[in-house]
Structure 1
Amino acid sequence: MTTRNKYSKEFKLDAISLVLEQGYSRSEAARSLGINANMLGRWIKESEADDALAFRGNGKLTPDQEEIRKLKAQVKRLEMEKQILKEATVFFAKETK
């Protein structure tokens, strides 16, 4: 008999943000997190539902928690952009020599 895995609300929200905010496909995000793609799809549908009862029993994020989550996602995106710019600078520096 196998036991069901329980995932925290934060884990689910981070998984959802990979797909909705960072542009990963559902299958890529699910594979990298070690979960089933169908489960991730269900989490996304629950989070987008009009009744806002996603992730039963865990309630909604407070405005502060929501802001923190958005800011963390923005920091990740900006760090990726910074890394891309660094790599582009190196590339173009080699091209001009």
Structure 2
Amino acid sequence: MGKEDKRRHFTREFKRNAAELVTEKGMPVGKVARELDVHPNLLHLWRRSLLKEGDKAFVGKGHARPEGAEIKRHRKELEKVKEERDILKKALAFFPRQSK
């Protein structure tokens, strides 16, 4: 039998609402964490993420932020250009240099 994933997964709305209880309503983190049955450190993490990123917080599993996707695309393109450069360097070694 395979191991079951014991981690709980929370929706974007749940995280946002939980973090807003602390930031906007001023409720204590410990009380909110007990009521929602989550660890206080997790609630602190959600709160920091909401304060830092606002509407872009909690994009979800497997969904890259637009900035991250662009960086990933540039890195892939850079790797391709490096490979092409290396191929050209090796090809130059096979052709004799012409002297004038």
- Structure 1 length as normaliser, TM-score? 0.51
Larger Rg: 2
Match of 1:9 in 2: 12
Q: Which runs of 5+ in 1 are unaligned?
A: 60-97
Match of 1:86 in 2: none
Which residue identity lines up with residue 9 of structure 1 in the other structure? Answer: R
CA distance in 1, matches of 2:13, 2:56: 15
Match of 1:22 in 2: 25
Q: Of the candidates 39, 47, 51, which is equivalent to residue 48 of structure 1?
A: 51
Which contiguous aligned blocks of 4+ residues in structure 1 show a shift greater than 4 angstroms? Answer: 50-53
* Deviation of the 1:3 alpha carbon: 1.3
Q: Which has the higher contact order (CA 8 A, sep 6+)?
A: 2
Question: Superposition pairs for residues 29-68 of structure 1, below 5 Å?
Answer: 29-50=32-53, 53-57=56-60
**Contact in 1 for aligned 2:22/2:32 (Cα 8 Å):** yes
Change (3 A) 1:23 1:51: closer
Q: Which runs of 5+ in 2 are unaligned?
A: 64-100
Paired residue secondary structure (1:49): helix
Q: How many residues end up aligned between the 2 structures?
A: 59
* Deviation of the 1:53 alpha carbon: 4.3
Match of 1:75 in 2: none
Change (3 A) 1:19 1:51: closer
Which residue identity lines up with residue 57 of structure 1 in the other structure? Answer: G
